[in-house]
Amino acid sequence: MTRGQIAIITPDGKLITSTEFNGDMYYDGEGHGKEVVEALESIEIEEEYREFVNDFNDRNFRYTDRELFYDCDDRFYDMSNDYFGKWFSDYVYIKNLSGKTVVFTDADKQKIALEPDTLAAFNFGKFYASDAEDFEKREFIEQLGILKNGLGYDMQENYANLWNACADYDNNHHGSYLTDKITDYDFVDDEILEYIVIKEAKGGVDRLRFFIGDTYSDNIYRLDGYGNLANVDNSDFEYLIDDIVQTLEEDITPPFYKEPACL
């Protein structure tokens, strides 16, 4: 069960968290996280926050055996120390309703700055996302994980599923070129293979034998590091998906706190 808490920094600088909601509090897919983030984006005062948490509980959990709100002391700003003794939850969603920038230390000891009227999410104390683009990247990373876990025996279908998912993401995100990473892996379909074989045949039969090697007949291949034909297996797609995920994660830049310059 994925646990989560919903928190705010009040206008007077007090940190308040909801009780821990136990179940489906992740952001992606059918989780409650997206609803929480959308609500926090529009919340401007403490009363709206409390109203949302109460309504959220009534609709999804119906807890009646515990307090729904808790005041947190300054220790809760440091998630790198005794996280499970304080927050404990898988996910924590926080919005800053105060007029001052507040700083959290995440589980990686990064100083994360929440400016006024901004929010951030943490996963087991590690910075997760802070704006719409971050959350969209995180959601797509989860989608890629599902693709990776669902790879089948039809290599062409694996390729098509990955290409279509990345093409949709590229079309919806200007400046994203995830399909270029797939192209860089030198996959070869029947149409491309015919062109390459004709080209390689000009080197003679021996070169053609070397190019084909011990490959077996399939509907998609790749070129190995030497420019020769190789069969594709699931490990090729696993490696490629990991590469794409790494690219997306590197594009998620935490809002680091910048120490004031000394005069």
Residue 208 has pLDDT above 90, yes or no: no
- Rounded Cα distance between 185 and 206, Å, is 26
- Rounded Cα distance between 117 and 41, Å, is 8
pLDDT of residue 35: 96
Residue 263 has pLDDT above 70, yes or no: no
- Rounded Cα distance between 43 and 49, Å, is 6
pLDDT of residue 164: 98
pLDDT of residue 262: 57
Residue 56 has pLDDT above 60, yes or no: yes
Instruction: For the chain, count helices (H), then strands (E).
Output: 9, 12
Q: Can you tell me the mean pLDDT for 221-241? A: 95
pLDDT of residue 261: 57
Q: Identify the band that residue 118 occupies on the pLDDT scale cut at 50, 70 and 90.
A: very high
Q: Can you tell me the mean pLDDT for 105-134? A: 96
- Rounded Cα distance between 195 and 177, Å, is 26
100-117 pLDDT, tens per residue?
999 999 999 999 999 999
The residues, any chain, with a CB within 8 Å of residue 63's CB and separated by 6 or more, are 19, 21, 57
Q: Can you tell me the mean pLDDT for 198-222? A: 89
pLDDT of residue 46: 97
Q: Which of 68-72, 203-207, 209-213 has the highest mean pLDDT?
A: 68-72
Q: Which residues of 151-162 are buried (b: 16+ CB within 10 A; e: fewer)?
A: beeebeebbebb
Percent of the chain with pLDDT over 90: 85
Q: Can you tell me the mean pLDDT for 1-13? A: 96
Mean of the per-residue pLDDT values of the chain: 94
pLDDT of residue 258: 86
pLDDT of residue 26: 93
Residue 68 has pLDDT above 60, yes or no: yes
Whose CA is closest to 75, among 4, 119, 17, 10?
Answer: 17
pLDDT of residue 259: 77
Residue 90 has pLDDT above 80, yes or no: yes
